[in-house]
């Protein structure tokens, strides 16, 4: 069965750091980009960022709200994706989901992503 499991969430004080992990099973991790998405309590989905596969340079992109504070990385040897969160703010409080980002060829012949497999999420609470 294809699945993702997030871990590492918890209660943290403002300004501190936290690292989330995403552990996959049932598919070849290195073949897929990975994305992080969050959802604040009672709110909608917010894309946090993604990391491409090594074949596409392993490059990353982020939402403006986390750029410079959050870092997404991947270890294909152990099949784990990470979300390193530094300088946490109270507004970072959310359920954090990791998702597999599969790709398809678009109208212009380029690659576009969609999140086809999601983990159940891990809760991060930033509070003093």
Partner 1 sequence: DVQMTQSPSSLSASVGDRVTITCRASQSISTYLNWYQQKPGRAPKFLIHGASSLQSGVPSRFSGGGSGTDFTLTINSLQPEDFATYYCQQSYTPPLSFGGGTKVEIK
- 46 near partner 1, rule: CB under 8 A: yes
Binds partner 1 by CB under 8 A, chosen from 47, 76, 84, 123: 47
Alpha-carbon gap, residue 83 to 85, rounded angstroms: 6
Instruction: Round the CA-based radius of gyration of the chain to a whole number and report it.
Output: 14
Q: How far is the CB of 50 from partner 1 (least distance, A)?
A: 7
Question: 24 or 119: whose CB is closer to partner 1?
Answer: 119
Calculate the alpha carbon distances from 80 to 49, 73, 87, 90, 100 in Å.
16, 9, 23, 27, 12
Are the C-beta atoms of residues 111 and 104 closer than 8 Å to each other?
yes
Binds partner 1 by CB under 8 A, chosen from 29, 32, 36, 62: 62
For residue 98, what are its two tokens? 């990791």
Q: How far is the CB of 44 from partner 1 (least distance, A)?
A: 4
Residues lying near partner 1 in the complex (CB under 8 A) are found at: 35, 37, 44-47, 49-50, 61-64, 97, 104, 106-108, 112-121
């Amino acid at each position: 069965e294809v699945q993702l499991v997030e871990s590492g969430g918890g209660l943290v004080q403002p300004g501190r750091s936290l690292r989330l992990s995403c552990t996959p099973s049932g598919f070849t991790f290195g073949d897929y980009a990975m994305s992080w998405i969050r959802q604040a309590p009672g709110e909608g989905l917010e894309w946090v960022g993604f990391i491409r596969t090594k074949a596409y340079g392993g490059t990353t992109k982020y939402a403006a709200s986390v750029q410079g504070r959050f870092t997404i990385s991947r270890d294909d040897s152990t099949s784990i994706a990470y979300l390193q969160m530094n300088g946490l703010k109270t507004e970072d409080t959310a359920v954090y989901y990791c998702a597999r980002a599969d790709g398809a060829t678009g109208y212009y012949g380029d690659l576009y992503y969609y999140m086809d497999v999601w983990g159940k999420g891990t809760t991060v609470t930033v509070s003093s």
